[in-house]
Amino acid sequence: MKQVKKELAEKLSEKLDVEVDLNDIERPEPEHGDFAYPVMKAASELGENPRKLAEETAGKFEDDDTIQKVDVAGPGYVNFHLDNVNFAEKVFEAFEGDRFGIEGRDGKVLVEFSQPNMAKPMHVGHFRNNALGDSLQRIMRFVGYDVTSENYIGDWGTQYGKLIYAFKKFGSEEEFQENPMEHMYSLYVKFHKELEEDEEIEEKGREWAAKIEEGNEEAVELWEKFREASMNYHKRDYERMGIDFDRVTGESKMVEGTKKLLEEGLERGIIEEDEDGSLYIEFDELPDVILQKDDGTTLYLSRDLENLRKRIHDEGFDYNLYVVASPQDLHFEQAFKAAEKLGYDTSGCEHISYGLLSLPEGSMSSREGRIVGIEDALDEAEERAREKAAENMEREVGNAEAIGIGALKYANLSVSRSKDIEFSWDRALSFEGNSGPYLQYSNTRAKSILREADKKGELLGKFEEEEYQLLKKLSEFPEKVERAADDREPAKIANYISELCEEFNSFYHSCKVLGDNEKTEKRRLRLVEVFVDVSDQGLELLGIEPLKEM
């Protein structure tokens, strides 16, 4: 609990007459107390013996009625045992405020995520991106930033020229109408098969791509038709995953600005021209990059330069976050370096890199050897959640889809983002702990206690040990959320909520909530209420639906 730590740090500063920061205060093992202050640093500043200073410090807290007991341990630790009720009052009071007492942040934040390429279904790898990006937008917004989430579609480049060529050559309007995504995807596969026989068609694809870029009517019309069909297709996935964007843009929107940016860079001598007419930029420590091809078309990286310029320069975002998997680490290093060379302040630009998601062989049905699309994964999650829930609860559940998708989200979010994930359905759907269903289940269990009680909780009497442990865990929530926001790391919240649920379940196991004497019952109900608030909010921040019942 930050407020409580802060108060303690202030008192220590005053009593010791040295600067004590809230980060100097530690959380010891529960049996040693609630907070510990190691005096070593202060002792060396004051030129005193640490053990002696610790004892003196402890003495100065004897009359403090927010503290129940102070003792000294080791070479110079002061251990504080707080007065439980006083502590609880402070925690609960802070939780009544906005954002559970978190001080609101200022700043305009852009969170870019999802970014599928058009004419292809999203595959399971995209699931991690979607889960991560969505959770980040929720967390950043919650701590007070002014957040804009953006889906930056991959909708430009030679591949769409190839698609147009393939559609004109082998496509069928009827098949397209019937199942646009499947048709576009099959054309893409067909084009590449054909390419093995006939290298010439590569050039044909490039010609159509150039036509799109020149604004040729037929080319643009087809391109727009494919783009729209892709967006309509993705929309269903987003709806199922419960994901919203503030705006949808795309690489295509950058083309004009990119050309201007490149021209200026060339004039200023930062960008160079090769003999064949292509443009590139040179770095000292990174591989050089080509920014414009010899035929005058822009490239993925150069479009990112314009995109960055627009966000930082025109729109004034303080933070510009790109949620993109680790294979593009070098891309972003180069893009940021190039932007710096061109004079843009990239200090707020961050590549939110994450590791890959691998599926053990045969774990997801892939129809006819197709890539495993997000849709397949969502269907399978729902189906397996239905079975697993029936097995565990010995009845049918009505919300298998929410449970299945929650399980997938938790499995993706509970691992810190730099790490790869080896996905396992058994782990993802476990009801025993560290899983989405376990979180949702603990949360609904608490809600059913409140429904049954049908009265309000109240802070009465003294806490028993198990109750106090739950209270302490609850008190950590705001710090964990702030940490998750600062580190751009939803795993901090996912893992915390999982530990909190464990704490709740052991509390529930050893403390009867209903039917004990009035005071005890009300006090325990109060804890259950706060647990519901915190776990509801925690699940929301992860984009996992908190359920009413399961």
Q: Give me the residues that bind ligand ARG (CB under 6 A), please.
A: 112, 115, 117, 152, 154, 304, 307, 322, 324
DSSP for 43-99 reads HHHHT--HHHHHHHHHHTTTT-TTEEEEEEETTTEEEEEE-HHHHHHHHHHHHHSGG
Residue nearest to ligand ARG (CB): 154
Query: Judged by CB, which is closer to ligand ARG: 306, or 401?
Result: 306
Q: How many CA atoms lie within 13 A of 408 on its CB side?
A: 31
CA distance linking residue 279 with residue 305, whole number of Å: 14
Whole-angstrom Cα distance, residue 148 to residue 137? 8
Round to whole Å and give the CA distance between 363 and 384. Answer: 11
Q: Considering the complex, state which of residue 111 and residue 544 has its C-beta at the smaller distance from ligand ARG.
A: 111
Q: Least distance (Å) from ligand ARG to the CB of residue 328?
A: 7
Distance separating alpha carbons of residues 426 and 438, to the nearest angstrom: 13
Q: What is the rounded end-to-end Cα distance, in angstroms, of the chain?
A: 31
As measured in angstroms, the least distance from the Cβ of 271 to ligand ARG is 19
Q: Least distance from C-beta 8 to ligand ARG, angstroms?
A: 45
Min dist CB 299 to ligand ARG, Å, is: 11
In degrees and rounded to multiples of 5, residue 50 shows phi and psi of -60, -45
303/473 with CB nearer ligand ARG: 303
- Least Å distance, CB 91 to ligand ARG, is 41
Provide, rounded to whole angstroms, the least separation between the CB of residue 250 and ligand ARG.
9
CB closer to ligand ARG out of 159 and 414: 159
Answer for the pair 85, 526: CB distance below 8 angstroms, yes or no. Answer: no
User: Which of 115, 399 has the CB closer to ligand ARG?
Assistant: 115
Helix (H) or strand (E) holding 405: helix 400-413
Closer residue to ligand ARG (CB): 116 or 436: 116
Residues 40 and 57: their CA atoms lie apart, in Å, by: 12
What is the DSSP annotation of 308-367? HHIIIIIS--SEEEEEEEGGGHHHHHHHHHHHHHTT---TTEEEEEE--EE--TTSS--G
How many other CB atoms sit within 10 Å of the CB of residue 197? 8
Residue 252 or 307 having the CB closest to ligand ARG: 307
Pull the structure tokens for residue 458: 């109240």
Contact of 57 with 36, CB cutoff 8 Å: no
Shortest gap between Cβ of 420 and ligand ARG (angstroms)?
18
Q: Rank residues 349 and 400 by Cβ distance to ligand ARG and give the closer one.
A: 349
Q: How far is the CB of 427 from ligand ARG (least distance, A)?
A: 28
For residue 136, the minimal CB distance to ligand ARG (Å) is 14
CA distances from 79 to 25, 26, 57, 191, 211 (A): 10, 9, 10, 71, 73
Closest to ligand ARG by CB, 25 or 254: 254
What whole-number distance in Å separates Cα of residue 478 and Cα of residue 258? 42
Least Å from the CB of residue 163 to ligand ARG: 15
- Closer Cβ to ligand ARG, 16 or 372, answer by number: 372
Q: 């004034």: which residue's tokens?
A: 316
